[in-house]
């Protein structure tokens, strides 16, 4: 039994190491904080395996007996010395070591006092069930996407609009709770460009499962272009988009959504100013394609039961024009 269990543990550990490539995996760190934590985990796993193996070995010695019931190992003299060593002395040494390692890991994973990079700082407001993302120094607001420059520590302030949520992007850093009435901070520092998935980690109601976001880490030059491009005048739009804007502005959409530079200034649903640049829709339920967007607009309750967004009864042509308009919101 003991050997089988040990074998299973080893096998699964190997499988784990081999298969740790998911884009929300703590074992595939892509940033400073997550990297430190992953190292801490591997150190602890080795320690845990040794402790577990010793206990299993002792149990095997106790349980597996010769035919006459006599113990196999007579060298051991179990008693207060064994219990004192195994139960007190060794644990105290191991636990003290773990405490020291923990304290040494903490600074690399905590938000630093000076708040990291001021220019790139982000304010995230968690809501049922999406994330508002503000860049105070750039005057940009987007939803469910956080842009950061590669290699720089970015301070992320986390707030909540309604209930307790938790911002968790496992490949970048630890999670931090979004608590109503307070502001917490976490530092994201990506080592390489890429898109890193995160999602809400604290149960926050019926669509907790669909409250994902993407952190897009860009090289500094691309990041600067993204920030600047945001304030550039929009390109010339096709006529369908102009008509689509009329559809949007004359429907119920405007009561809940905001689009910069228009009369739409609702604050119930996510900001749509940069909708077309998002990788996914509805907090990660489906990819952001015109087909899914149309399905979402017509019947959001099918994709995300319980979402605050009601369905619409737009005609086919109206919907086509609306999609054309929304496609220009980059």
Q: Which of residues 93-112 bind another protein (CB under 8 A)?
A: 95, 98-99, 101-103, 105-106, 108-110
Identify the H or E element spanning 159. strand 154-160
β-strand partners of 165: 178
Provide the token pair at 196: 């890193």
Residue 63 binds to another protein (criterion: CB under 8 A): yes
Give the C-alpha separation, 273 to 265, whole Å: 10
Minimum distance, C-beta of residue 315 to another protein, in the bound complex (Å): 29
Give the C-alpha separation, 257 to 270, whole Å: 6
Give the C-alpha separation, 145 to 149, whole Å: 13
Q: At what angle do helices 290-298 and 316-326 cross, to 10 degrees?
A: 120
Residue 283 binds to another protein (criterion: CB under 8 A): no
Residue 187 binds to another protein (criterion: CB under 8 A): no
Residue 305 binds to another protein (criterion: CB under 8 A): yes
Give the C-alpha separation, 153 to 186, whole Å: 10
180-202 in b/e form (b: 16+ CB < 10 A) is: eeeebbbbbbbbeebebbbbbbb
Minimum distance, C-beta of residue 112 to another protein, in the bound complex (Å): 12
Q: Which is nearer to another protein, 35 or 230 (CB)?
A: 35
Contacts with another protein, 230-269, as mask; x by CB under 8 A: ----------------------------------------
Answer for which of 30, 132, 144, 166 binds another protein (CB under 8 A) is 166
Minimum distance, C-beta of residue 251 to another protein, in the bound complex (Å): 27
β-strand partners of 142: 133
Size of the site for another protein (CB under 8 A): 93
Provide the token pair at 16: 């784990």
Residue 14 binds to another protein (criterion: CB under 8 A): no
Q: Which is nearer to another protein, 138 or 145 (CB)?
A: 145
Answer for which of 238, 291, 306, 310 binds another protein (CB under 8 A) is 306
Considering only residues 144-163, where is the footprint of another protein by CB under 8 A? 162-163
Residue 164 binds to another protein (criterion: CB under 8 A): yes
Minimum distance, C-beta of residue 118 to another protein, in the bound complex (Å): 20
Q: Which stretch binds another protein (CB under 8 A): 56-64, 215-223, 249-257, 322-330?
A: 56-64
Q: Is 320 left (phi over 0), alpha (psi -120 to 50) or beta?
A: alpha
């Amino acid at each position: 039994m003991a050997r089988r269990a040990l074998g299973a543990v080893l096998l699964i550990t190997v499988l784990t190491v081999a298969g740790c490539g998911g884009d929300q995996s703590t074992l595939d760190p892509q940033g400073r904080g997550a990297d430190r934590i992953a190292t801490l985990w591997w150190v602890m796993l080795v320690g845990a395996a040794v402790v577990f193996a010793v206990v299993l070995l002792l149990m095997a010695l106790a349980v597996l007996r010769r035919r006459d019931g006599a113990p196999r190992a007579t060298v051991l003299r179990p008693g207060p010395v064994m219990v004192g060593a195994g139960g007190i002395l060794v644990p105290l040494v191991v636990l003290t070591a773990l405490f020291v390692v923990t304290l040494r890991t903490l600074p690399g994973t905590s938000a630093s006092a000076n708040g990291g990079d001021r220019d790139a700082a982000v304010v995230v407001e968690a809501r049922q069930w999406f994330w508002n993302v503000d860049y105070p120094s750039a005057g940009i607001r987007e939803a469910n996407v956080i842009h950061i420059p590669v290699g720089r520590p970015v301070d992320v302030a986390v707030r909540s609009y309604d209930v307790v949520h938790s911002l968790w992007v496992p490949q970048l850093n630890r999670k931090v709770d979004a608590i109503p009435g307070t502001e917490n901070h976490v530092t994201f520092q990506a080592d390489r460009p890429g898109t890193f998935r995160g999602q809400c980690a604290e149960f926050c109601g019926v669509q907790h499962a669909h409250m994902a976001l993407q952190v897009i880490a860009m090289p500094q030059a691309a990041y600067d272009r993204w920030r600047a491009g945001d304030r550039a005048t929009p390109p010339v739009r096709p006529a369908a988009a102009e008509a689509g804007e009329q559809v949007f502005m004359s429907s119920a959409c405007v009561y809940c959504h905001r689009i910069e530079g228009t009369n739409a200034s609702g604050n119930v649903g996510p900001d749509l100013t940069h909708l077309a640049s998002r990788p996914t829709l509805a907090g990660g339920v489906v990819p952001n394609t015109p087909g899914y967007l149309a399905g979402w607009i017509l019947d959001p309750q099918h994709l995300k039961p319980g979402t605050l967004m009601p369905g619409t009864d737009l005609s086919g042509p109206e919907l086509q024009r609306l999609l054309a308009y929304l496609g220009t919101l980059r």
